[in-house]
Amino acid sequence: MVHLPVYMDYHATTPVDARVVEAMQPFFTQHFGNTASVQHRFGWIAKEAVEQARKIIADMLQAEPREILFTSGATESNNLLLKGIAEAYQSKGNHLITSAVEHPAVLETCRYLERKGFVLTILPVDSFGRVNPRDVEKAITEKTLLVSVMSTNNEIGTIQPLEEIGAICSAKNIFFHTDATQGIGKIVFNVKEMNIHALSFSSHKIYGPKGVGVLYLRNKNPKVFLETQMHGGGHERGFRSGTVNVPGIVGLGKAVSLVQENFIDENKTLSELRNLLWEKLQKIENVKLNGDPVRRLSNNLSVTFNGVNADMLMAELTDIALSSGSACTAEDGNASYSHVLKAIGLSAEEAHSTLRFGLGRFTTKEEVNYVSEKITQTVQKLRSFSKEGVR
């Protein structure tokens, strides 16, 4: 039996796992201390819990615990990293490199720095949304400070060639940052071997609480220094002041431990469900998969239903939570479509016919069957209306 509504928007956010809630609970009422209160047991317990979470996250990334900084989420982590490096190293250079398919938290921060006088190179991607490492190498100049390329794309699921890009940056003595928000739990990270100098992600994408995130910052070979963006009591090695969100960090630590424990089985299940969904959707005429068909997230499908407006399709699917690939925004009063879909060559019409399916830990085979049947019926219905309208 399918319980409605069906949630297939796991890229946007995830429900907090009950085991995460259970781990967090005592730190709201019983162990409520401030980690900065070093004179008594309440503070000691809080600090110990935070440091335990820090170690769990460091182990997942093959990093050192002191290289893990806690923030309010990936957006803050990206801002702190990009602005912090730009300001700290501006005497050495003023050039930043990123890609055309990055999340706005990276792209808009880079454009802000561009307005402040930094030089920005936005690399194109191929039709699968993949950055060519050779393009990265060609773009690097004597003034380049940083390359920022996401691990996996939040819209089309494409996995980027992080190892190749990292090797190039390392050889050129350039900092390499990746926004790993969608990649955590889906691909394996070894920041040392992959030559990643900075990495960011959010808790709420991996069944943890909202309002907490991570910034990994390499401490040696090379050491990454940031100009502080939030001043105050000197928390998080002085890079991010503010009273530490102990319950949130405990929840994040638990979420990461669950990701690690279930990594292989969970991704195998997600891949099977995703493939089943795509197998059924392919039976609809004139549909197209967006993104790399092989090197993609285990839980992602971005599908263009040609000739059908995605917003109208979603309006008919009131019992299914999905995301429209058009991702319209207002720019100078004009409607614009997803910069990611535009970057891979989709027309405005195609983008407005695209849906993103995000499967997750609690998705069932019954839900996949239900969604595929509903979409098949609705697409056929809307196309028949369109033909009637043409007549």
Pairwise CA distance, residues 348 & 345, whole Å: 10
Could you give the 3-state DSSP secondary structure of residue 111? helix
Q: By C-alpha distance, which of 245, 253, 256 is closest to 211?
A: 245
Token pair 């028949």 is found at 384
The residue annotated as part of the active site, out of 328, 335, 345, 385, is 328
Please answer whether residues 24 and 254 qualify as being in contact, where contact means their C-beta atoms are separated by less than 8 angstroms.
yes
Q: By C-alpha distance, which of 233, 231, 193, 196 is closest to 214?
A: 196
Q: By C-alpha distance, which of 290, 280, 330, 8 is closest to 126?
A: 290
Amino acid present at 308: V
Question: Is the CA virtual torsion 382, 385, 390, 391 positive or negative?
Answer: positive
Compute the half-sphere exposure of residue 216: CA atoms within 13 Å on the CB side of its CA.
34
Query: In Å, what is the CA distance from 87 to each residue of 63, 80, 92, 110?
Result: 25, 10, 10, 12
Pairwise CA distance, residues 20 & 193, whole Å: 30
Question: Is the CA virtual torsion 124, 13, 288, 307 positive or negative?
Answer: negative
Active-site residue 110, yes or no?
no
Please list the active-site residues: 328
